[in-house]
Amino acid sequence: MIPIRFPINDWDGDGSTDSLFDITMEMKVCESFQKKETNFLDELIPDVELPISDLQYENDGVDSSAEEEFSLESDDDYDWREAYNDTENYGVSPYEHETQEEFFDACNRAEEMHFQKLMEEHEKEMEEFEKKQKAFIEECKARDAKRRIEEQEEIRRNKEEDIKDKKEYIYCGVVFDDNSQIFHYITDDEGISVGDSVIVPVGYNNEETEAVVMSVEKCLRINAPYPFCKTKKIIRKA
């Protein structure tokens, strides 16, 4: 861009002060005068010889503060804006900046602010997650503690009932074909003896399974080989 300063002056010679007009037309007028009048520049500025694009004219009778400064700008200087018109620039418009460098600087600042905001949001989410995680762990601990207390209370009640109950119960130790470990069941059938095959409930679903009786004994609940409250009953003989 070439800066050219033009004051308010009487260019057409009609005796009236002209306002500033189009720089391109002004240049053409000046060049036209210079071609026709060889002493055109000397009359305007007798002591200074400058190219027409660099002339600064004195305004007789007009305050010099009335001069205005213009810039000769080419549309080609802003062609770079079109390349970034439809791109994501974090809200930065190329039309708000004079040069591509200023635009890039603004984009970099906006990008830094964008990622800073993302980091702050991430940290906030992590804090919320840690709070929820901590609350969940505390809830689990409280639930486990409550369950242990309830189990201990149940054991205490069962033990008291075992002590109070003076009835004798028939306990049978049985084994399964695929296991030599003895499991205890109770029965009301006094006819069951060692060596008999019986049907007993097994597992959470109480699946009916055949087993062989290995031992039979009568005992009080307090002396039972397996806690009475957890002992299942023999269903029938096989």
Same-domain pairing of 38 and 10:
yes
Q: Is 181 within the bounds of a domain?
A: yes
* End residue of a domain, out of 113, 145, 164: 164
Nearest alpha carbon to residue 29 among 6, 8, 9, 12: 12
Selected residue with higher pLDDT from 131 and 69:
131
Same-domain pairing of 229 and 171:
yes
In the chain, what is the straight-line distance between the N-terminal and C-terminal CA atoms, in Å?
Answer: 110
Domain that holds residue 9: 2-73
Q: Is 54 within the bounds of a domain?
A: yes
* End residue of a domain, out of 26, 45, 73: 73
* End residue of a domain, out of 40, 73, 106: 73
pLDDT given at position 35:
53
Q: Is 80 within the bounds of a domain?
A: no
Count of the separate structural domains present in the chain: 3
Q: Is 79 within the bounds of a domain?
A: no
Q: Is 41 within the bounds of a domain?
A: yes
Residue-wise pLDDT for 19-66, tens only, equals 444 444 455 455 554 555 555 555 554 444 444 444 444 444 444 444
Average pLDDT score over residue span 143-156: 93
Selected residue with higher pLDDT from 81 and 202:
202
Same-domain pairing of 204 and 177:
yes
Own/partner pairs for 182-186, CB < 8 Å, 24+ apart?
182/214, 182/215, 183/211, 184/224, 184/225, 184/226, 184/231, 185/231, 185/232, 185/233, 185/234, 186/228, 186/231, 186/232, 186/233, 186/234
pLDDT given at position 73:
46
Residue-wise pLDDT for 72-95, tens only, equals 445 567 788 887 776 666 788 888
